[in-house]
Structure 1
Amino acid sequence: MSLIDLTANDAKPLRPSRKKPFFPVKEELNDYLIKHGRAINLPCGYNDLFRFNYAVPLRDKAGNDTYWETVSYDSREWDYLRESLVRIYAALKTEGDLSFTEQLDVARIDFCGFGNSQPFRIRIVNKFNDNYDHYYIKPIDASRVYGLELEHLLSPNRITFLANKDTLVEEHIPGIPGDVFIEQHMHKPDANPIRLAKEFVKFNERCFVRLLGDMRAYNFIVNITPDIEDVQYRIRAIDFDQQSYEGRRNLYLPQFFKENFPFVQTAQKYLNKSSIAQYQAEERTLIAFRIKSSRARIKELLDILRDDIIAPDHKVKQLSEELAEYFNQPTFLRCTTMGQLIESQLKQTLRKSQLLTSQGIY
């Protein structure tokens, strides 16, 4: 796999499925979530937030429309939701310690009808100093739960989320949206294109190894961290709806989306094939370290995922055929679920790791 050969007109435009169905959380997955502190009783759910009276478009600081609307409720409904949403924030941030909730309030509730999950964004404010934070409430979807958990276990990023019946609660992941980064930050004089190109290669590899799809620029963020005499970059996925759902292999490689082409151009300009191969190997090694350190939990999750249905049969068949052809590895053709494909993909991409060779992928 190389970024070097990709050109602007290299492939047909990639578009994930317009409407992905929601897959239920089966009993085994729910038991896993309970065991690992992910599933708790919540004071309100996703559907409760739809009892708003009206909505007004939300504009950004420059006065431009966003995809969000700020929603309003009658006073009785608002009082109930305020208390419930503050309690959810406490569960998310302080393990349910309510001693801090008196200084917290709900400043705003926004709704986004664009996209698959149609989330509500909750803004929590500290009444003492006006500092605010956000979290999201979405309809629960098994594939998204698997995506969040795999991100937590296999990526360099920890993820906090809670699940309950029909509701998924996710923490806000701070950073600069990828499309905004391209427009406003990528070409600044103090940007370091070499380090940015390196991080994009590593991010591209992370997505492919664990089969996370649809990483167009607005579905990931970029964090900039000052370092000795320069800066470091970290690209983080923020949307996990497309965890192992699509049938086309290229949908799991961010390099093939036209929205990400400025990152690809930067990699083409500043990296050679040897450097790309080095950074890919570095990322695979880090993933292997994470598997080794969380082997039991990853095995537990994959055992559940192996028999779960998170994509239609024809997509599983298409992806198994494309991966088998890409790796020249017919074992992919024996996979009948996306969970089996993820397991085979991990074994295939990490098979050279000395950390895992003696004991298997988990």
Structure 2
Amino acid sequence: MDDLKISKKKPSYPISEKLDQYLSEYNRNFKLPIFYDDLLRYQGAISVFDKDDEDTLWLRVYYNEYDREEIDLALKRVYSNLVSDGNEKIFDFLNVDCIDFCTFGNSQPFRIKVRNILNDNYTHFYVKRADASRVYGLELEHMLSPNSLNFLVYKDTLIEEHIAGIPGDVFIKDILPSCTSPEKAQIAKEFVKFNERCMIRLLGDMRSYNYVVIPTHDFDQIVYKVRAIDFDQQCYEGKLNIYRPQFFKENYEMVKLVKEKITDASIDQYKIEERSIIAKRVISYKKRLTKLIHCMENDKISTDENIEHLRSVIYDYTLDMNFRHSETMGAILKHALAFVKRNYEDVNMKKLS
């Protein structure tokens, strides 16, 4: 198991004019009533502990009375536009229970808990700085994964919906050991497919705390899915293995499970299945994906050193000359998706002939 080194201080890349136009075209751009910097005006904070009295690395922040009223109203408006049509009639039934701030990691998000006072149902959303890498990651997740995503961007502020699930590190530690043998086999299969999906779309740093495991009851069994929740490292790193979750020591138990429960032939089959699904999504989202990739090709979201190293490694992996001439991370991703799509179409042509 490799001890991969991640760029701890990945720079935050601004939203380009082309990307901003793309976001407006697909209703991701919305004039927000509050900015990330507004939430930094808190007057005090206390640490948030979990049910086992362990520090979560989140701080519960507090504002003066005047600012809190203004902030609460703005956050209700954000929530309404994120999940609905912006109707203000629901404001009377909403309460902003708490605002938490995380100083750990690149994004340093605010987590907003909104509760419906009529039935005590609650949900969360996040307020972050609008980093271009993260926005590209969210859009690619929406188009190329089985999961749709909802988010809003305005200038330097990003609003993300909460992705429900059991954090991977918690799942591995507390739940995986008690899973049945068939359940472990199914989890192993999902990890193989998740690993392949991340590599193809160049989503990096999927250590166990950057994805969630989602259990769903289906007749007489529980079906598990693995879903990314952190998109900071979209198309940034130069090492290919950073885009492959299997190489992180935090995922050792998952990799061990794959070796124990799945044969090499099955692993290859699951990889083919995932590539085929992604190829179908590339075809289905052709117009939208082409516009997004065009933005990425003309955007700076990594260093020249990372780009040169990654294109060389992927060329050695695929022997596709297109990678040798890729000048940006967007171009590398474009050719990676084209490579997968081309292989899928070649297989289908052989079936027809």
> What is the Cα deviation at residue 82 of structure 1?
0.4
Which position in structure 1 is the counterpart of 2:336? Answer: 345
Which position in structure 2 is the counterpart of 1:118? Answer: 108
The 8 Å contact of residues 279 and 340 in structure 2, kept in 1 or not, is answered as no
Which position in structure 1 is the counterpart of 2:287? Answer: 296
Cα displacement string for residues 158-190 of structure 1 (whole angstroms, at most 9, x for unaligned residues): 000000001000000000000000001111144
Which position in structure 1 is the counterpart of 2:261? Answer: 270
**1:101 paired to 2:91:** yes
The count of aligned residue pairs is 348
Equivalent positions of 1:179-218 (< 5 A) are: 179-190=169-180, 192-218=183-209
- Amino acid in structure 1 at the alignment position of 2:292: L
**1:335 paired to 2:326:** yes
Which position in structure 2 is the counterpart of 1:323? Answer: 314
**1:259 paired to 2:240:** no
> What is the Cα deviation at residue 357 of structure 1?
8.0
Which position in structure 2 is the counterpart of 1:311? Answer: 302
The 3-state SS of whatever aligns with 2:177 is: coil
- Amino acid in structure 2 at the alignment position of 1:182: I
2:27 paired residue among 33, 37, 45: 37
Which position in structure 1 is the counterpart of 2:15? Answer: 25
**1:156 paired to 2:116:** no
Q: Partners of 1:356 and 1:339 in 2: how far apart? A: 26
The 8 Å contact of residues 288 and 356 in structure 1, kept in 2 or not, is answered as no
Q: Partners of 1:199 and 1:299 in 2: how far apart? A: 28
Runs of 4+ in 1 over 4 A off after TM superposition: 355-358
Which position in structure 1 is the counterpart of 2:55? Answer: 65
Unaligned runs of 5+ in 1: 1-7
The 3-state SS of whatever aligns with 1:79 is: helix
Which position in structure 1 is the counterpart of 2:216? Answer: 225
- Amino acid in structure 1 at the alignment position of 2:43: N
The 8 Å contact of residues 133 and 233 in structure 2, kept in 1 or not, is answered as yes
Q: Partners of 1:350 and 1:204 in 2: how far apart? A: 18
> What is the Cα deviation at residue 304 of structure 1?
1.4
Q: Partners of 2:204 and 2:311 in 1: how far apart? A: 15
Q: Taking structure 1 as the reference length, what is the TM-score of the superposition?
A: 0.94
> What is the Cα deviation at residue 201 of structure 1?
0.4
Cα displacement string for residues 278-312 of structure 1 (whole angstroms, at most 9, x for unaligned residues): 11111111112212221111111111111111001
- Amino acid in structure 2 at the alignment position of 1:344: H
Q: Taking structure 2 as the reference length, what is the TM-score of the superposition?
A: 0.96
- Amino acid in structure 1 at the alignment position of 2:97: A
Cα displacement string for residues 120-174 of structure 1 (whole angstroms, at most 9, x for unaligned residues): 0000011112221100000001111000000000000000000000100000000
Which position in structure 2 is the counterpart of 1:83? Answer: 73
Cα displacement string for residues 9-53 of structure 1 (whole angstroms, at most 9, x for unaligned residues): xx3x10210111011111111011011110010010100000100
Change in CA separation of 1:299 and 1:119 when aligned onto 2, cut-off 3 Å = same
Q: Partners of 1:339 and 1:164 in 2: how far apart? A: 23
**1:145 paired to 2:135:** yes
> What is the Cα deviation at residue 243 of structure 1?
0.1
- Amino acid in structure 2 at the alignment position of 1:257: F
Which position in structure 2 is the counterpart of 1:132? Answer: 122
The 8 Å contact of residues 292 and 356 in structure 1, kept in 2 or not, is answered as no
Cα displacement string for residues 72-124 of structure 1 (whole angstroms, at most 9, x for unaligned residues): 00000000000000100001000212221210010000000010010000000
The 8 Å contact of residues 61 and 101 in structure 2, kept in 1 or not, is answered as yes
- Amino acid in structure 2 at the alignment position of 1:142: A
Cα displacement string for residues 204-243 of structure 1 (whole angstroms, at most 9, x for unaligned residues): 0110110000000000000001123212111010000000
1:167 paired residue among 157, 161, 165: 157
The 8 Å contact of residues 60 and 66 in structure 1, kept in 2 or not, is answered as yes
> What is the Cα deviation at residue 356 of structure 1?
9.9
Q: Partners of 1:125 and 1:227 in 2: how far apart? A: 29
The 3-state SS of whatever aligns with 1:232 is: strand
The 8 Å contact of residues 288 and 355 in structure 1, kept in 2 or not, is answered as no
Q: Partners of 1:157 and 1:76 in 2: how far apart? A: 39
Which position in structure 2 is the counterpart of 1:3? Answer: none
The 8 Å contact of residues 93 and 116 in structure 2, kept in 1 or not, is answered as yes
- Amino acid in structure 2 at the alignment position of 1:156: P
Q: Partners of 1:330 and 1:257 in 2: how far apart? A: 29
Q: Partners of 2:86 and 2:294 in 1: how far apart? A: 30
Cα displacement string for residues 224-268 of structure 1 (whole angstroms, at most 9, x for unaligned residues): 011232121110100000000000010000000000010000000
The alignment-based identity, stated in percent, is 45
Q: Partners of 1:276 and 1:351 in 2: how far apart? A: 21
Change in CA separation of 1:44 and 1:189 when aligned onto 2, cut-off 3 Å = closer
